[in-house]
């Protein structure tokens, strides 16, 4: 239920119904957020129960005990606030480059949604402050390395906590972390002041609640799901354009062929390729019986990526609506467990990046065929326009080099990270998921594939132009023609050698805006 004071364009957070698309809208499009009234009541009731439990003698992890290996050390109730502060100060040891803004915003929203379920014992004021940080576009500077993704993203989330909290005794700017506000990086204290926000003194268990959950791993995975939807559509379009340029044989996409294997993703990809190529005069224009694997097995490679994406989406959706800190409170029961363990996220990220690495690999193989005069069905070597310039010019040769380099990098990144583990906290935490590394590598694989697909689109468009110059009467398919015209509206045919790096990077930025997909979809409906 949305608060009556919020606008219709404000997402109401209730702990249970956050979608990946909504998460992406908040992370990347700055959709405003608020806490649902029902969730506020649940959170307040849990906070009251925590105070009741904290007044008793029974040990409660992280409330009146130490943390990790110190779980058996009792802490006086009067020291609970200092315990929260010390936890944040000692755990803020992230290193490396900062996470991108959208990842930080997504992680904050996931943490809010966890608290909104009403099992964490935090105050509504803490949730409201996190929401205001999102709404006012205050973004903490969070180093992207240092998390094992098991006891939660302890180090990254501690850097978040530094910005929103203050010491119970002194408000030291040096221990307030760093944050961006209105494009400027400043201390956390300065950013909070500039945004008109006041940091909180964290109460009992609140420090632990903030950092005890794999929010950054989940954020990376959820955003990757959104990006993969876009990537796989582009991969189908790029493959279809290459098929046009290479005069492909359509038999490999016959629906009967795919239905007898029964894989849903494969069936759907073959159907979309048929639609993209419908009415083409280049397809089936030779006497060839079949094509190389990189052409005819495209549905069998892109299709499984769709199937895996479906599984990963379900995992990500459950995770962003999960209670993941420790302990959790159910009535007057404080239950310690391991919901913070990132194994589901790590395995899903590894699974998806393996599938996507294959999508990039088969794309590079088509690029290779397009520029090799022995494989490209009569096109000039390296797609050089004038035969007399062969040797004098290199044409598109180096585009394939770059694509091959990215494929090799993806093959290294696709090695499963979730099978790697080292013990921490003197052996108390003896099996770690490495989920955040898996999710970070997934994001890098996705970025690499955007560039590989951009290269395939530019290469196939160059090849199609050469076909048209040779035979102006040819006709492209319904979808591929729209894609070709879209490419040529921004990227010209390259008659002479030209530094193509800028074309590739500009193509990537345009592909991320989804304009190509939207135009092609309209042409097929």
Three-class DSSP labels, 35-59: ECHHHHHHHHHHHHHHHHHHCCCCC
Tally Cβ neighbours within 10 Å of residue 287: 6
Residue written as token pair 């302890």 = 154
- Work out the pLDDT band at 299, boundaries 50, 70, 90: very high
Q: What is the mean pLDDT of residues 321-330?
A: 94
pLDDT band at 8, cuts 50/70/90? low
pLDDT tens across 373-408, in order? 999 999 999 999 998 999 999 999 999 999 999 999
What is the pLDDT averaged over residues 477-482? Answer: 98
pLDDT at 4 over 80: no
Instruction: Share the mean pLDDT of the chain.
Output: 94
The architecture of the domain spanning 220-325+339-420+430-524 is Up-down Bundle (1.20)
Indicate whether 5 pLDDT > 50: no
Q: Which of 112, 55, 63 is nearest to 87 (CA)?
A: 63
Active site residue 401: no
DSSP string covering 255-319: HHHHHTT--HHHHHHHHHHHHHHTT-SSTT-S--S---HHHHTHHHHHHHHHHHHHHHHHHHHHH
Rounded Cα gap, residues 102 and 219, in angstroms? 9
With 0-12 / 13-18 / 19 or more C-beta atoms within 10 angstroms meaning exposed / middle / buried, residue 48 is: exposed
Asked whether this chain's domains 10-213 and 220-325+339-420+430-524 adopt the same fold, the reply is no
3-state SS, residue 74: strand
pLDDT band per the 50, 70, 90 thresholds, residue 172: confident
- Out of 61, 293, 368, 401, pick the active-site residue: 61
Could you tell me the two tokens for 328? Answer: 């959790």
pLDDT at res. 151: 83
**% of the chain at pLDDT higher than 70:** 98
Sort strands 184-187 and 143-145 into parallel, antiparallel or unpaired. Answer: unpaired
Q: What is the pLDDT of residues 41-95, one digit of tens each?
A: 999 999 999 988 887 778 888 888 887 788 788 888 778 889 899 999 999 999 9
Beta bridge partners of 145: 95
User: What distances in angstroms separate CA 328 from CA 100, 118, 159, 334, one per listed residue?
Assistant: 30, 9, 23, 6
Sign of the dihedral through C-alpha 202, 205, 207, 209: negative
Residues whose CB falls within 8 Å of the CB of residue 165, separated by 6 or more in sequence, listed in order: 84, 85, 88, 199, 200, 201, 202, 207
Instruction: Output the pLDDT for position 525.
Output: 84
In this prediction, residue 3 carries a pLDDT of 41
Q: Which fold has domain 10-213?
A: Fumarase C; Chain B, domain 1 (1.10.275)
pLDDT at 6 over 50: no
From CA 460, how far away is CA 64, in angstroms rounded?
64
CA distances from 506 to 10, 235, 500, 502, 503 (A): 33, 17, 10, 6, 5
Over residues 189-241, the pLDDT tens digits come to 999 999 999 999 999 899 999 999 999 999 999 999 999 999 999 999 999 99
Compute CA 290 distance to the chain's CA centroid, rounded to the nearest angstrom.
37
pLDDT exceeds 90 at position 262: yes
Rounded Cα gap, residues 83 and 490, in angstroms: 58
- Where along the chain do its domains lie? 10-213, 220-325+339-420+430-524
Whole-model pTM?
0.95
Question: Computed from CA positions of residues 266, 267, 272, 273, in that sequence, does the dihedral angle turn out positive or negative?
Answer: positive
Which tokens in the block code for residue 117? 């379920």
pLDDT, residue 385, reads 94
Asked whether the bond before 327 is cis by omega within 30 degrees of 0, the reply is: yes
Distance CA 288, CA 196 (A): 69
342: tokens are 């990132």
What dihedral do alpha carbons 403, 406, 412, 416 form, nearest 10°? Answer: -100
**DSSP secondary structure code for residue 168 in this structure:** S
Q: What does the DSSP assignment read for 87-152?
A: HHHHH---EEEEPPHHHHHHHHHHHHHHHHTS-S---HHHHHHHHHHHHTT-EE--EEE---SSS-
Q: In the numeric block, which tokens belong to residue 271?
A: 């159907």
């Amino acid at each position: 239920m949305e608060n009556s004071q919020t606008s219709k364009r404000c997402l109401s957070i209730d702990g249970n119904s956050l979608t990946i698309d909504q998460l992406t809208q908040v992370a990347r499009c700055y959709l405003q957020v608020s806490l649902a009234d029902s969730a506020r009541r649940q959170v307040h009731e849990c906070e009251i129960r925590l105070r009741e439990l904290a007044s008793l003698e029974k040990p409660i992890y992280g409330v009146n005990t130490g943390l990790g290996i110190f779980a058996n050390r009792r802490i006086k109730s009067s020291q609970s606030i200092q315990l929260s502060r010390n936890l944040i100060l000692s755990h803020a040891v992230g290193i490396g480059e900062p996470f991108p803004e959208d990842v930080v915003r997504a992680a904050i929203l996931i943490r809010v949604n966890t608290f909104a379920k009403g099992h964490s014992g935090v105050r509504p004021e803490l949730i409201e402050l996190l929401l205001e940080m999102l709404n006012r576009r205050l973004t903490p500077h969070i180093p992207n390395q240092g998390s094992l993704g098991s006891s939660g993203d302890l180090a990254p989330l501690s850097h978040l906590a530094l910005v929103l909290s203050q010491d119970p005794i002194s408000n030291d700017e040096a221990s307030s972390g760093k944050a961006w506000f209105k494009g400027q990086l400043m201390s956390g204290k300065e950013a909070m002041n500039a945004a008109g926000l006041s940091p909180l003194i964290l109460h009992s268990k609140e420090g632990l609640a903030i950092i005890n959950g794999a929010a950054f791993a989940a954020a990376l995975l959820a955003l990757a799901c959104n990006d993969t939807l876009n990537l796989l559509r582009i991969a189908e379009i790029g493959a279809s354009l290459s098929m046009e340029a290479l005069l492909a044989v359509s038999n490999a996409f016959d629906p009967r062929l795919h239905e007898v294997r029964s894989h849903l993703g494969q069936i759907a990809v073959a159907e979309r390729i048929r639609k993209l190529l419908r009415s083409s005069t280049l397809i089936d224009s030779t006497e060839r019986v079949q094509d190389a694997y990189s052409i005819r097995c495209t549905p069998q490679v892109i299709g499984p990526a769709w199937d895996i994406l479906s599984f990963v989406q379900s995992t990500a959706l459950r995770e962003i609506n999960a209670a993941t800190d420790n302990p959790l409170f159910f009535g007057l029961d404080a239950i310690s467990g391991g919901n913070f363990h990132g194994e589901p996220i790590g395995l899903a990220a590894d699974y998806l990046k393996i599938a996507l690495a294959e999508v990039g690999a088969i794309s590079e193989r088509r690029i290779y065929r397009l520029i090799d005069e022995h494989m490209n069905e009569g096109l000039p070597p390296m797609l050089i326009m004038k035969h007399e310039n062969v040797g004098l010019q290199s044409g598109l040769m180096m585009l394939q080099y770059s694509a091959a380099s990215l494929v090799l990098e993806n093959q290294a990144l696709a090695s499963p990270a979730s099978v790697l583990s080292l013990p921490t906290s003197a052996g108390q935490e003896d099996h770690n998921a490495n989920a955040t590394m898996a999710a970070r590598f997934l994001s890098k694989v996705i970025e690499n594939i955007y560039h590989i697909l951009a290269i395939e689109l530019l290469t196939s468009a160059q090849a199609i132009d050469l076909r048209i110059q040779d035979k102006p009467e040819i006709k492209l398919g319904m979808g591929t023609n729209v894609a070709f015209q879209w490419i040529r509206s921004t990227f010209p045919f390259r008659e002479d050698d030209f530094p193509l790096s800028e074309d590739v990077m500009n193509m990537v930025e345009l592909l991320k805006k989804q304009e190509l997909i939207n135009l092609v979809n309209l042409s097929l409906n």
